[in-house]
Amino acid sequence: MTTVVTVAALTLQEASRRRVLRSLAVLTAVLLALSAWGFSEIDSDYGGLTSGEARMAGSTVLNLVMFGFSLIAALGTAFLAGPTLSGEVESGIALAMMTRPVRRAEVLVGKWLGLVGFGAGFVTVAGVAEFLIVHLTVGYWPPHPVTGLMLLAAQTAALMTLSLLFSTVISPMASGIMAVGLFGATWIAGVVGSVGEALDNPSVALVGTVSRMLLPTDGLWRGAMNSFQDPALLAQIGSGIEESPFLSMNPLTGAYLLWAAVWTALVLGLAALSFQRRDL
Amino acid sequence: MTDSPAVWASHLRKRYKKRVAVDGVSFTVGRGEVLGLLGPNGAGKTSVIKMMLGLVRPDAGEVMLLGRPNTDPRSRERVGYLPELFRYQPWLSADEVLALHVRLAGVKISGSDRRESLGLVGLADRAKDRVGGFSKGMQQRLGLAVALVARPELVVLDEPTSALDPLGRADVRDLLLSLKERDVAVLLNSHLIGEVERVCDRVVILDRGRVAAAGTLPELLGRRELRLVLTNVTAEAAALLEPFAREGDHYTVTLPDDVPALIADLVKLGVRVHAVEPARVSLEERLLDILRTQPEEL
Ligand SMILES: Nc1ncnc2c1ncn2[C@@H]1O[C@H](COP(=O)(O)OP(=O)(O)OP(=O)(O)O)[C@@H](O)[C@H]1O
Ligand SMILES: [Mg+2]
């Protein structure tokens, strides 16, 4: 247990001292500034959020920005998770550490914990900053901010776990690229699925459902979006027709959340197994 | 527990793809013993060490470290290791690296003891500097401190002086001797034979994944010799020296039981004796000898 905590702390220390953090901070600041500008434009065009259209615009732009954050978090953690394990094996840093009286699974779980903490911390800080911007510019406050942020953090954790699994078998760069590629692919599959739903084409809709099962990042993202949206707005639009990449009609089911947790645990277990068997 | 050897390795075997790297290597390192692991490049020394420490899975064979099977992480509680490829978290300072290893080892070592370990390898004034800015030799020195910081009972050093300056090499030799004094077992892999000869109690020579020779230094270097510088050597005197090796005026013979008698006989035959000195086959000569005769044995 002390090993897990020690390695988690080390991973957080690494994240805070490497350049990743600075790049993340810069990207986040840029996105926050852009969104602040965007929202103030919306506000001046519509003169406060009174009409349904303005609410629609505000909600969509908020989700767009949050998607940007989730992308930054995904990229950041994926490119942090990859190097942190396979990079250490390649460079030889792992040699001295792994000959201490520690189990490899403990080291892996410690890294995972540290990275999840980092991802969650980033999502929280950036998300809350964005909520404040939206609140100050157009006076909108999302209905379930905490649930939404937790789902975003879960999405980051899921992707990071996958990246960690890849990094036990392939090179650091490749594992980051693979994870981000898959993340993008499921997002697109999710969009394709919504189009299928809108057109009442069950076989096309199935694409989204299946991909959401295989990699739960898109499903979790949809759940997060749902909790950032104004429920009145959703009721106004009605169900089904207007499902877009940045609007989500239905909150997540408990079964899906359970699946996402099981999925993450499974992938982490696989990563531990694969790391255990690896020659260093 | 303490009467179990520091290392007990039995029939280790490892194959990478089609290449057999280690082929049935067995050896032991006693408590407090310094064992030298020698052999040419690619002989499998590093592979043996990595299997021993659980970094690489052996295809066959077993290892016990300090009385515990090496599949049990606790077997490494009292083990210090300096890898051949030594790299430490570049974003940490030297002192933080040591603190990390102390925490992972689960021992209580005070900050001043850590500072002392750094002082031992000549890094006392760089304790607060980031490892990323260290030179190669400084990183190897840090690696030595890491291997020694958690009060080990077994220290495994894979080419500990490969990046060190001559002063550093002398420091390592002193370090090894002080470990020996404190009854710490050491497994030393080095290409610097003089270093090995100076500090090791026993030597294992690996060649192409097998143990080519093993034994204490006197066992391996058993043949003792006498070197003479002679002029006016008559045929009769030469017969007295037989069998001998000659290089100009320098004659080498196996050490006779009675050296003064031999010299007296030579002088009686009119031979002029300029120098007489006892000699020993150096470990280097012996190693080259063993490795060169290996192909015929296979
Ligand atoms: N990770 C690996 N993948 C494939 N082959 C390997 C690997 N590690 C070692 N080998 C092979 O195993 C053999 C032994 O290598 P090893 O590193 O143990 O040699 P060594 O005795 O330490 O040599 P050196 O004196 O050069 O350090 C070599 O033939 C090498 O090519
Ligand atoms: Mg080697």
Nearest alpha-carbon partner for B268 in B294, B232, B295? B232
Residue with CA closest to ligand 1 atom 3: B16
Residue B225's pLDDT is: 80
Contact A225, A245 (CB under 8 A): no
Nearest bound ligand to the CA of residue B22: 1
Which ligand 1 atom is nearest residue A279's CA?
A: 1
- Regarding predicted confidence, which is higher, B223 or B156? B156
Interface test with B, best of A99, A108, A274 (most B CBs within 10 A): A99
Nearest alpha-carbon partner for A176 in A164, A186, A187? A164
Percent helix / strand / coil, chain A, rounded to 5? 80, 0, 15
**Pairwise CB contact (< 8 Å): A13 & B92:** yes
ipTM over 0.95: no
Residue B217's pLDDT is: 80
CA–CA gap between residue A224 and residue A260 (Å, rounded): 14
Contact A184, A147 (CB under 8 A): no
How many beta-carbon pairs under 8 angstroms link A with B? 71
CA–CA gap between residue B78 and residue B253 (Å, rounded): 48
Distance from residue B162's CA to the centre of ligand 2 (Å): 11
**Pairwise CB contact (< 8 Å): B101 & A91:** no
Distance from residue B45's CA to the centre of ligand 2 (Å): 5
Radius of gyration of chain A (CA): 20
DSSP-derived secondary structure letter, B190 = -
When the pLDDT of each residue in chain B is averaged and rounded to a whole number, the result is 89
Q: What's the pLDDT band for B47 if we cut at 50, 70, 90?
A: very high
Please list the residues that pair with B9 across neighbouring strands: B27, B63
The nearest alpha carbon in chain B to A103 belongs to B73
Q: Which residues of A touch B89 (CB under 8 A)?
A: 10, 14, 93
Distance from residue A84's CA to the centre of ligand 2 (Å): 25
* Ligand 1 mutation target, pool B14, B20, B47, B157, most atoms within 8 A of CB: B47
CA–CA gap between residue A235 and residue A253 (Å, rounded): 19
Report the side by side order of strands in the sheet with B19-29. Answer: B19-29, B7-16, B60-65, B68-69
CA–CA gap between residue B140 and residue B123 (Å, rounded): 11
Q: Which residues of A touch B81 (CB under 8 A)?
A: 95-96, 99
Beta-strand ranges (E) seen in chain A are none
Contacts 24+ apart (CB under 8 A), B251-258: B251/B227, B252/B225, B252/B226, B252/B227, B252/B228, B252/B279, B253/B225, B253/B226, B253/B228, B254/B223, B254/B224, B254/B225, B254/B226, B255/B224, B255/B225, B255/B226, B256/B226
Residue with CA closest to ligand 1 atom 4: B16
Q: What does residue B34 show for φ and ψ, rounded to 5 degrees? A: -110, 115
CA–CA gap between residue A35 and residue A62 (Å, rounded): 8
Residue with CA closest to ligand 1 atom 2: B16
Query: How many other CB atoms are found less than 10 A from the CB of residue A62?
Result: 25
* Ligand 1 mutation target, pool B16, B23, B50, B208, most atoms within 8 A of CB: B16
Residue A235's pLDDT is: 62
Asked if pLDDT for residue B297 goes beyond 70, the answer is no
Q: Which residues of B touch A3 (CB under 8 A)?
A: 104
CA–CA gap between residue A111 and residue A96 (Å, rounded): 16
The phi-psi region of residue B170 (left if phi > 0; otherwise alpha if psi is between -120 and 50; otherwise beta) is alpha
Residue A139's pLDDT is: 75
pLDDT in tens, B64-118: 999 999 999 999 999 999 999 999 999 999 999 999 999 999 988 888 899 999 9
Place of tokens 């994240």: A15
Name residues 196-255 of chain A within 8 A of B (Cβ). Answer: none
**Pairwise CB contact (< 8 Å): B104 & A92:** no
Q: Residue-wise pLDDT tens for chain A (280 aa)?
A: 789 999 999 998 988 887 777 888 888 888 888 888 887 777 776 665 556 666 667 777 777 778 887 788 777 777 777 777 888 888 899 999 999 999 999 999 999 999 899 888 888 988 898 888 888 877 778 888 898 889 989 988 998 898 889 888 888 778 878 888 888 888 888 888 878 877 888 888 888 888 888 888 888 888 888 888 777 666 665 544 445 555 565 677 888 889 999 999 999 999 999 999 888 8
A103 and B CB contact within 8 Å: yes
Distance from residue B143's CA to the centre of ligand 2 (Å): 16
Contacts 24+ apart (CB under 8 A), B257-265: B259/B226, B265/B240
Interface test with B, best of A2, A14, A95 (most B CBs within 10 A): A95
State the smallest CA–CA distance between residue A176 and chain B in angstroms.
20
Residues found in chain A:
280
Q: Are strands B19-29 and B272-280 parallel, antiparallel or unpaired?
A: unpaired
Distance from residue B59's CA to the centre of ligand 1 (Å): 15
CA–CA gap between residue B217 and residue B198 (Å, rounded): 10
- Out of A51-55, A99-103, B57-61, B138-142, pick the least confident: A51-55
Residue list, ligand 1 pocket, CB within 6 Å = B 16, 19, 21, 39, 41-47, 84
A276 and B CB contact within 8 Å: no
B151: which residues sit within 8 A by CB, 6+ positions away?
A: B78, B107, B109
- Out of A38-47, A91-100, B150-159, B220-229, pick the least confident: A38-47
Residue with CA closest to ligand 1 atom 17: B46
Nearest alpha-carbon partner for B178 in B216, B121, B221, B94? B121
